[in-house]
Amino acid sequence: MKRKQHRPFNPIRLKNQILNVVKNPFNMIVAISLVVLFCLIVIPLLQMIATTFTVAKSELRRIRGAEVGDFTLYYWKYILTSGMAGATLWGPLKNSLVVGFFTVLVSVPLGSVLGWLIVRTDIPGKKLLGMLVVIPYMVPSWCKALSWLAVFRNATSGSLGFLAGLGIPIPDWLAYGPVAIVLCMSLHYYAFSYINVSSALRSINSELEEMGEICGANKLQILKSITIPLVLPSVLSSIIMTLSKSIGTYGVAANLGNRIGYFTLATKMKTFINGSPQAVGYAMSLVLIALAALIIFSNQKVVGVRKSYATIGGKGGRSTEMKLGKAKTPLMIFLVVFLFFAMVAPMFVLVMETFQITTGNGYGLNNLTLYNWIGTVDEAQRYINYPGIFRNPEFTRAIYNTVRLTFIGSILTALCGQFLGYISTRGRGKWYGSATEQLVFIPYLMSGVAFSAMYVAMFNRPRLGGLIPSLYGTFGLIVLTSVVKHFPFASRSGTSNMMQISTELEEAADINGANFWQRMAKIVLPLAKNGFISGFMLTFISIAKELDLIIIMMDKRTQTMSYLAFTYSQEGYNQMADAISVCVLLFILVCYIIANKFGADIGKAW
Amino acid sequence: MSKIVLSHIDKFYGDNHVLRDINLTIEDGDFMTLLGPSGCGKTTTLRVVSGLERPQNGVMTIDGEEMINADLAYFAEPSKRGLNLVFQSYALWPHMTVRNNIAFGLKIQKLPRAEVEKRVADSLRMMRIEEYIDRYPNELSGGQQQRVAIARAVASNPKLLLLDEPLSNLDARLRVDMRSELQRIHRELGTTVIYVTHDQVEALTMSTKIALFKAGEISQVATPMDLYMNPIDLEAADFIGNPRINFLEGAGHMDGAKLHVSCELAEYEFDRSDMTEQEIPESGDFPVVVAIRPEQIHLTTEKSTDGIPVKVYANQPAGSETLVSLQGAGGTDFLAKEIGLAQYDIDQTVYAHIAPEKINIYDAKSTRLIKRTR
Ligand SMILES: Nc1ncnc2c1ncn2[C@@H]1O[C@H](COP(=O)(O)OP(=O)(O)O)[C@@H](O)[C@H]1O
Ligand SMILES: [Mg+2]
């Protein structure tokens, strides 16, 4: 018996087949969302690829005999083989890889050790420590760059930082460039490893370790031959995540590198996209995407098969703590010192700098002012164009834009996420389920700058014969970019949420006569509510932090607080930039506290 | 009240042929049990009947009305089939109280409020769980959830009630209680019931008819009594009955109107009238399997003419019954069951009496039943 039997043509069957598809709203929804995903993800990508092979107006003079719109290899030759290739692609690419490599080298061991200490040992104050350790991740990475500058700035960029102000000579290689970038990013991305490793450790039954003890292994041997191999898969995937993230990060690299002409792929790319030739920037972002895809897929090849045993031992395993004994005090000191230098000190310097008249000039009363917060222009003691941020209409607008963007963006993202999650769980094992999953995963491969470059390339002129107007510079485009970029995370949280709603609950309603919309309204939505709220809060925080993603599209009208702080810092108004980042920090912290109230798990926030 | 006819139903998951040419008629008022080991397609059949799955081939009618016609790609909506289903997991909506769980479907049907209230109260009373009306499902025990799930299913007055292993999540004692409860409901409501289980005791005690499933096919449809007495093939015989039926190898040959069978214990001769339609060689010896239920073997300690001498190998008294392991002269092991306590010594010789009309004979080659019991 064959699955597909040949049946002679029958008009009634055809009618019924069509009715079966059309009458089921789920099919329609799947169709619509696949089309929308295709338009929002695949077409922009293809469009960007096409742009890199098409002559643009600005290059007419440089490409002999070409017309606008002709096919050309000019841009790819420009970055790959021309005399400019070294400065455009290979140099920044090397820098990106170096920065990424060293960030992994610092942050992964750091995060893993912290995870082990807090989950598996009898270190005191675990609960508090566990909370403090993830706070640096809440601080946007570009804020860290600003704190770094507040501490290490030297005469090269005009005003002095905290240390230089104390008379300690700070060399350029420490204040700016790769060392600074690596350390700042490490203090951010160690959270990946911490969260991955600690959750892997939690899922390992401590009886496995105790068995080792019974067999006569000492603590070091147990660690080496039982614990570490079991968490290795999660360490590997932390390496991959850290690597692909840090290669694409813009904010840190720009704040700490641009001043001394140290460019990574992400920062160099932006100078092209904002300037010319734009297509070179797009070509570079394709290189970035390819790099991330390569890293992630090779990870899936290596880890994918073996990852499964990360949860061996299952849930409910008792967890006995390892006695640290004599090592307890030094390790505790290490933790406190780490938290002090990673969090307390830079934050203190950052906050204090907002009250200083001259940075790096100490905290004497004669150097303190509230000007940066509430001053007016005529009070200015130095040449400053701007009033204090609370009197600055630009800042007010930035607050408004930030709140507007985060609210609208995260509500839309969370809704779409639940929706996509619904489609991929209900379509599990069917072609449309996997198609949705694959499409939604694509934005994950792109760093923020590369992704927004793609959207700019797509929407900087009317499309579909004017059906979609040019969105360049509009708030709508910024929202759209934020929403689509957060699809991978949002749909993953939607999927795990929907997985908990058994299909049988829906089928029971189906049998009781509820149609698709009634099932949605009465069964799925009420049950998805909690997951929705926590998904919403996490996206909210993530969008509030975002700088890289939207920096290419911002202008004075649409700028958010992050962007404003970034511009001020680039213009040398360090205190104001600091003041704004303090506001951003407070905003995020408040959101985080609220999110925690709703049971949102920050460990899932990327 | 309804008669369900399934004909030539085929269901595939991908290339996996899960239901193979299912033909089944369920008469109005039947308590039809789908019985079979796990993974043989019982749930899938139930889901096809309910409309949650669409088969690739076949036709199904309920009371003569076509509900499935795969040839025409016609599938009636589940809610239009006049049935209700109790899921194995119960599928109670966790965010609704017991009241709202039961009222949900009634409200969707836009019944008047008073009618809804009445039906909720009635079905709760029927399941004897009135006091839990305002609880949430997670505030109920497994057995209570089970009752709510059934109450929800019967509240809509279905013509056909489908139950998927409803007792499998309950402990042994509750299971026995719920068995009689379900029988009572079936009698009170008079609905047709399709009941899925892998537990033969449930099937034998509750059903009016049993459909025995084997790897996606129905191997036998019969009353519980007939299924127990005359399983259609060796596999069915092995599956039905606890303790298991005894199989003894033997040889048979047809001698005109008689079937001669000889095995280690004895030689038998059976009338043509006791035989099934199953084709067997008309001449020459052919291998057969003699199947005897343990309770059909009666043991005596005194020697008699029709008693077969056997040796006691082990003796397992269990209060209400005693299982005795025996060894024939040729060394074959078999089991006898006696009601009440019996005491035999190990290696004691006893005499087994087996009535020929209580013996099943199977063709060893086709494994099919060739001689029925009476
Ligand atoms: N949704 C599904 N997709 C693929 N295969 C399935 C699905 N549901 C059931 N099957 C397969 O169909 C067969 C019969 O399953 P089922 O009807 O659930 O068996 P039973 O209820 O008798 O235990 C099994 O082999 C099972 O693996
Ligand atoms: Mg089943």
Question: Tens of pLDDT along A142-155?
Answer: 888 888 888 888 87
> Measuring CA to CA, how many Å separate A536 from each of A3, A181, A412, B277?
44, 31, 9, 69
Instruction: Look at residues A516, A426, A521 and name the one whose alpha carbon lies nearest to residue B79.
Output: A516
Question: ∠ at Cα A447 (A576, A148), nearest 5°?
Answer: 35
B35 alpha carbon – ligand 2 mean position (Å): 10
Q: How far is B213 from chain A (nearest CA, A)?
A: 19
| pLDDT of amino acid A599 | 61
- For ligand 1, the distance from its centroid to the CA atom of residue B211, given in whole angstroms, is 18
| Helical packing angle, A91-120 and A126-138, nearest 10° | 160
Q: Which two tokens stand for residue A32?
A: 């619509």
Pocket test for ligand 1, best of B18, B53, B200, B217 (most atoms within 8 A of CB): B18
State which residue of chain B sits closest to A512, comparing Cα positions. Answer: B105
Q: How far is the CA of A423 from the centre of ligand 2 (A)?
A: 25
Whether residues B105 and A512 touch (CB distance < 8 A) is answered with yes
**Ligand 1 near B41 CB (within 6 A):** yes
Which residue(s) pair with B354 in the sheet? B297
Query: Residue B267 carries which side chain, given as an amino acid letter?
Result: E
Inter-CA distances, A76 with A271, A285, A286, Å: 17, 12, 11
Smallest CA separation from ligand 1 atom 16, residue: B41
CA distance A564 to A547: 10
**pLDDT score of B240:** 92
- pLDDT at position A380: 59
| Residue B211 Cβ < 6 Å to ligand 1 | no
Q: Where are the domains of chain A?
A: 33-41+385-606, 84-326
Backbone angles phi, psi at A124, to 5 degrees: -70, 155
Q: Residue A306 — pLDDT band, cuts 50, 70, 90?
A: very low
Q: Are A48 and A282 in contact (CB under 8 A)?
A: yes
β-sheet with B297-300: strand ranges across: B297-300, B349-354, B308-317, B321-327, B333-339
Q: Exposed, middle or buried, A62 (CB in 10 Å: 0-12/13-18/19+)?
A: exposed
Q: What is the mean pLDDT of chain A?
A: 82
Helix H, strand E, coil C: the string for A55-78 is CCHHHCCCCCCCCCCCECCHHHHH
Q: State mean pLDDT over A372-391.
A: 71
Domain residue spans in chain B?
A: 4-238, 245-371
**CATH homologous superfamily, domain B245-371:** Nucleic acid-binding proteins (2.40.50.140)
For chain A, give the longest Cα–Cα distance. 95
Task: Note if the bond before B243 is cis, omega within 30 degrees.
Answer: yes
What is the structure's pLDDT at A499?
Answer: 84
Measuring CA to CA, how many Å separate B368 from each of A12, A221, A390, B240, B279?
Answer: 43, 63, 92, 15, 9
Band of residue A343 on the pLDDT scale cut at 50, 70, 90: confident
How far is CA B41 from each of CA A515, B18, B57, B212, rounded to the nearest angstrom? 27, 6, 15, 11
pLDDT reported for residue A6: 73
Distance from C-alpha of A245 to C-alpha of A463, rounded to nearest angstrom: 31
Give chain A positions within 8 Å (CB) of B111: none
CATH of domain A84-326: 1.10.3720.10
Residues 6+ apart with CB under 8 A from A204: A227, A230, A231, A312, A313, A317
* Environment class of A27 (CB within 10 Å of its CB; exposed 0-12, middle 13-18, buried 19+): middle
Contacts of B226 by beta carbon, 8 Å cutoff, 6+ apart: none
Does any CB of chain A come closer than 8 Å to the CB of residue B217?
no
Average pLDDT over residues A548-576: 84
The nearest CA of chain B is from the CA of A24 a distance in Å of 10
Q: Read off φ and ψ for residue B245, nearest 5 degrees.
A: -70, 150
What residue of A is the nearest CA neighbor of B158? A512
Q: Which pair of tokens denotes residue A268?
A: 């160099």
pLDDT given for residue A311 in this prediction? 38
Q: What's the gap in Å between A293 CA and the centre of ligand 1?
A: 37
What does the pLDDT look like over A216-228, one tens digit per residue? Answer: 777 778 778 777 7
Calculate what percentage of chain A has a pLDDT beyond 70.
92
B142-146: list long-range contacts, CB under 8 Å, 24+ apart. Answer: B142/B169, B142/B170, B142/B174, B143/B170, B143/B174, B143/B178, B145/B90, B145/B92, B146/B90, B146/B170, B146/B178
pTM given for the model: 0.80
CA A358 to chain B, closest CA, distance in angstroms equals 60
B144 at interface of A, judged by CB pairs closer than 8 A? no
Helix, strand, or coil here: A560? coil
Please state which CATH number belongs to domain A33-41+385-606.
1.10.3720.10
Q: List own/partner pairs for A318-322 with CB under 8 A and 24 or more apart.
A: A318/A205, A318/A206, A318/A207, A319/A119, A319/A120, A319/A202, A319/A205, A319/A206, A320/A206, A320/A210, A321/A120, A321/A121, A321/A122, A322/A120, A322/A121, A322/A122, A322/A209, A322/A219
ipTM over 0.90: no
Kindly list the distances between the CA atom of residue A580 and the CA atoms of A399, A475, A564, A587, in Å, as whole numbers in the listed order.
10, 21, 8, 11
Query: Which residue in chain B is spatially nearest to A8 when comparing CA positions?
Result: B71
Give the Cα separation of A505 and B29 in Å (integer): 28
Q: β-strand B31-35 against B192-197: which pairing, if any?
A: parallel
Question: Quick check: CB of B33 below 6 Å from ligand 1?
Answer: no
Residue A320's pLDDT is what? 63
pLDDT at A492 over 50: yes
Residue B163 near residue B194 (C-beta atoms within 8 A) = yes
Under the banding of pLDDT at 50, 70 and 90, the label for residue A307 is very low
- Point out the ligand nearest to the CA of residue B38: 1
The phi, psi pair for B253, rounded to 5°, reads: -155, 150
Write out residues in chain B with pLDDT < 50, as ranges: none
Do residue A514 and residue B83 have CB atoms under 8 angstroms apart? no
HEC readout, A261-309: CCCCHHHHHHHHHHCCCHHHHHHHHHHHHHHHHHHHHHHHHHHHCCHHH
Q: What 3-state DSSP class applies to B19? A: strand
Instruction: Judge contact between B343 and B248, C-beta under 8 A.
Output: no
Candidates B44, B71, B110, B111, partner chain A, best to mutate (most A CBs within 10 A): B71
Query: Is the minimum CB–CB distance between B50 and chain A shorter than 8 Å?
Result: yes
List, for residues A412-466, the tens digit of each pLDDT value. 998 899 889 999 888 888 888 888 888 888 888 788 888 888 888 888 777 776 7
- Rounded to an integer, the average pLDDT of A521-526 is 90
Q: Is the CB of B42 under 6 A from ligand 1?
A: yes
Structural class in CATH, domain B4-238: alpha beta
**By the CB < 8 Å criterion, does B57 face chain A?**
yes
| Average pLDDT of span A43-63 | 84
Q: Are strands B246-255 and B65-69 parallel, antiparallel or unpaired?
A: unpaired
For a mutational test of ligand 1's pocket, the pick from B9, B10, B43, i.e. the residue with the most ligand atoms closer than 8 A to its C-beta, is B43
The reply to whether B4-238 and B245-371 are identical in fold is no
CA of B42 to the centre of ligand 2 (A): 6
Ligand 1 proximity of B44 Cβ (cutoff 6 Å):
yes
Is A250 within 8 Å of A448 (Cβ atoms)? yes
Handedness of CA B236, B238, B242, B246 (dihedral sign): positive
Q: At what angle do helices A345-353 and A574-597 cross, to 10 degrees?
A: 130
pLDDT digits (tens, 9 = 90+) for A265-276: 888 888 888 777
The SS3 call for residue A583 is helix
Q: Which of B343, B272, B265 is nearest to B309 (CA)?
A: B265
pLDDT tens digit sequence for B90-100: 999 998 999 99
Q: Is the CB of B13 under 6 A from ligand 1?
A: yes
Say if residues A359 and A153 touch (Cβ distance below 8 Å): yes
Q: Do domains A33-41+385-606 and A84-326 have the same CATH topology?
A: yes
Residue A236 corresponds to which tokens in the numbers above?
């590997």
Residue A489 CB burial class (10 angstroms; 0-12, 13-18, ≥19): buried
Do the Cβ atoms of A10 and B71 come within 8 Å?
yes
How many separate helices (H) and strands (E) can be counted in chain B?
A: 8, 22
**Which residue, among A340, A350, A405, A437, has the nearest Cα to A554 in the 3D structure?**
A405
Q: Are B267 and B296 in contact (CB under 8 A)?
A: no
Ligand 1 atom showing the smallest separation from residue B34 Cα: 22
Helix (H) or strand (E) holding B75: strand B74-75
Question: Mind listing the pLDDT tens digit for each residue in A64-96?
Answer: 777 777 888 888 888 888 888 888 888 899 999
Q: Which two tokens stand for residue B116?
A: 């809804």
Q: Strand, helix or coil at B313? A: strand
